[in-house]
């Protein structure tokens, strides 16, 4: 009897231990704790870049691009020297030397002293080659010569001129006013346009509105007796 009771007690004890062990291996479920969301605030900072103020050095740099007085004076001297060399070449009736001073272009435009127009470098060379063999003892005097530059590549020259020569053995003298337009091409000044007009134009070619009224001499008062 005791032995039977011992066996039953042992079985009950084993069952209790099994239940306790099973409870110990079962994970304990705890209520989920809500996760607190963190709100991140992003602040955007706008940076304004100030407008740069021109410095004195920058101002001097811009001014340096403009032609200086020395540069303008040098260009005027070059133009005057080119014009003087042209006159000497005309006096020698050297066609090639004269044409070297003119812009080699179909756009070359010459208003001649007799009212005609020469267009293009080639036509002008043809005209001079036909005229120069008949000229001798050519002399040219230029007065009141004035040069004005326009930037680095353009200039004008104005003057009064007198030319004496022999045309087919007959002496001639003419005078007038001249405007010459130069352009700087390559490393030299070339004539792009020339306008020549007589100093005393033919009255028959002038309209009445442009003719000068003749001067009427004042009467001489009678002498007192």
The answer, yes or no, to whether residue 5 has pLDDT greater than 80, is no
* Structural domain includes residue 30: no
Position 116 scores a pLDDT of 96
Position 141 scores a pLDDT of 97
Unique residue bearing structure tokens 């709100």: 39
- Domain extent at residue 98: 69-201
Strand spans (E) along the chain = 109-111, 117-119, 135-150, 154-167, 170-185, 188-198
For residues 4-22, one letter each, b for 16 or more C-beta atoms within 10 angstroms of the residue's C-beta and e for the rest, the string is eeeeeeeeeeeeeeeeeee
Instruction: Decide: 101 and 190 in contact? Cβ < 8 Å.
Output: yes
Task: Taking residues 73-95, report their average pLDDT.
Answer: 97
Position 23 scores a pLDDT of 47
Instruction: Decide: 185 and 97 in contact? Cβ < 8 Å.
Output: no
* Structural domain includes residue 21: no
Unique residue bearing structure tokens 């209520």: 31
* Structural domain includes residue 17: no
- Counting residues of the chain whose pLDDT is more than 70, the rounded percentage is 65
Q: Comparing 12-16, 108-112, 191-195, which segment has the lowest mean pLDDT? A: 12-16
Position 61 scores a pLDDT of 44
Task: Tell me, rounded to whole angstroms, the distance of Cα 136 from its chain centroid.
Answer: 44
* Structural domain includes residue 14: no
Whole-angstrom Cα distance, residue 144 to residue 42? Answer: 80
163-207: pLDDT as tens digits? 999 999 999 999 999 999 999 999 999 999 999 999 888 778 778
For residue 141, the cross-strand partners are: 162
Q: Report the number of distinct structural domains present in the chain.
A: 1
Q: How far is residue 93 from each of residues 101, 123, 139, 175, 182, measured CA to CA in Å? A: 14, 17, 10, 18, 21
Q: Domain of 167: which CATH number? A: 3.10.450.50
* Structural domain includes residue 16: no
Position 92 scores a pLDDT of 98
Helices (runs of H) and strands (runs of E) counted in the chain: 5, 6
* Structural domain includes residue 82: yes
Q: Comparing 47-61, 89-103, 180-194, which segment has the lowest mean pLDDT? A: 47-61
* Structural domain includes residue 158: yes
* Structural domain includes residue 79: yes
SS3 154: strand
- Of 99, 174, 93, 101, nearest to 137 by C-alpha is 93
């Amino acid at each position: 009897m005791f032995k039977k009771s011992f066996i039953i007690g042992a079985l009950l004890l084993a069952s209790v231990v099994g239940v306790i062990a099973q409870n110990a291996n079962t994970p304990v479920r705890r209520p989920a704790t809500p996760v607190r969301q963190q709100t991140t605030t992003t602040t955007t900072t706008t940076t304004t870049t100030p407008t740069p103020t021109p410095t004195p050095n920058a101002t001097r740099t811009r001014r340096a691009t403009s032609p200086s007085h020395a540069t303008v004076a040098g260009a005027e001297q070059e133009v005057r020297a080119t014009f003087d060399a042209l006159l000497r070449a005309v006096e020698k009736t050297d066609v090639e030397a004269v044409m070297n001073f003119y812009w080699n272009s179909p756009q070359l435009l010459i208003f001649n002293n007799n009212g005609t127009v020469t267009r293009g470098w080639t036509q002008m060379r043809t005209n001079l080659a036909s005229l120069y063999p008949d000229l001798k003892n050519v002399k040219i005097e230029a007065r009141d010569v004035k040069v004005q530059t326009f930037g680095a590549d353009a200039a004008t020259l104005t003057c009064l001129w007198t030319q004496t020569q022999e045309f087919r053995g007959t002496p001639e003298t003419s005078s007038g006013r001249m405007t010459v337009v130069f352009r700087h091409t390559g490393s030299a000044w070339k004539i792009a346009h020339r306008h020549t007009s007589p100093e005393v134009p033919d009255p028959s070619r002038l309209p009445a509105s442009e003719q000068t009224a003749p001067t009427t001499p004042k009467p001489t008062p009678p002498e007192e007796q």
